[in-house]
Amino acid sequence: MPESRKSRTPSSSPSSPSSPSSSPSTPSSPATPSSPSSPSNWAAFAAAEPGLARTVEARFGAFTHHILATLRRDGSPRTTGLEVTFRNGELWLGMMPDSLKVLDLRRDPRFALQANPGPGTEMGGGDVRVSGRAVEVDDPAVRAAYGEEVEPPEPFHLFRTELTEVVRTYVEDDKYLVVQVWKPGEPVRTLKRT
């Protein structure tokens, strides 16, 4: 997997006209099943649920590599390692040229992303997962702005994300398994199990 030359530390700076969140282009892709709510970008999620968003960013910021699940041509899942970046109100996915995950996302943009749990069994901050649709960005200005900030190896594919679900699972008081689930247009649901 390519390494960037700049830090992967999460950034929550607002979008600006020159930021990578403006003017993304969308490739043609097959229709996917619609969800009850429209997808949201990272900024909309962070505005709706700032505490959960900070926790999720911190979990992804704790390690460089995470696990991306995409769908193969036959519909079976494919998991691969991936670096992610939070910048300018977006969750960005950068990928090597014509990798299998790129081909998967061009064919079917649905994805699930799981934060690296880290070593051992502690999983500080809990297990976090993000699901949604990946939208490839072809706009040269957006790609150039991203490239200046992140300095990924060239060439690269760039996707921004449209979130359909964010989930955090953690243990509370060594007694409860707590699951927090957010979907666009809905408040966080919290489930506790003993």
The structural domains of the chain, ordered by start, are 42-165 (2.30.110.10)
Residue with tokens 């003993």: 194
Q: Which helix (H) or strand (E) holds 54?
A: helix 50-61
Quote the CA–CA distance of 130 and 165 in Å, as a whole number.
Answer: 6
Q: Which of 187, 136, 139, 138 is nearest to 162 (CA)?
A: 136
At 170 the three-state DSSP class reads strand
The DSSP letter of residue 40 is B
Quote the CA–CA distance of 194 and 191 in Å, as a whole number.
Answer: 10
- The tens-digit pLDDT sequence of the chain (194 residues) is 444 434 343 343 333 333 333 333 333 334 444 445 678 999 999 999 999 999 999 999 999 899 999 999 999 999 999 999 998 899 989 888 889 999 999 999 999 999 998 876 676 678 999 999 999 998 888 887 777 777 666 777 889 999 999 999 999 988 999 999 999 999 999 999 98
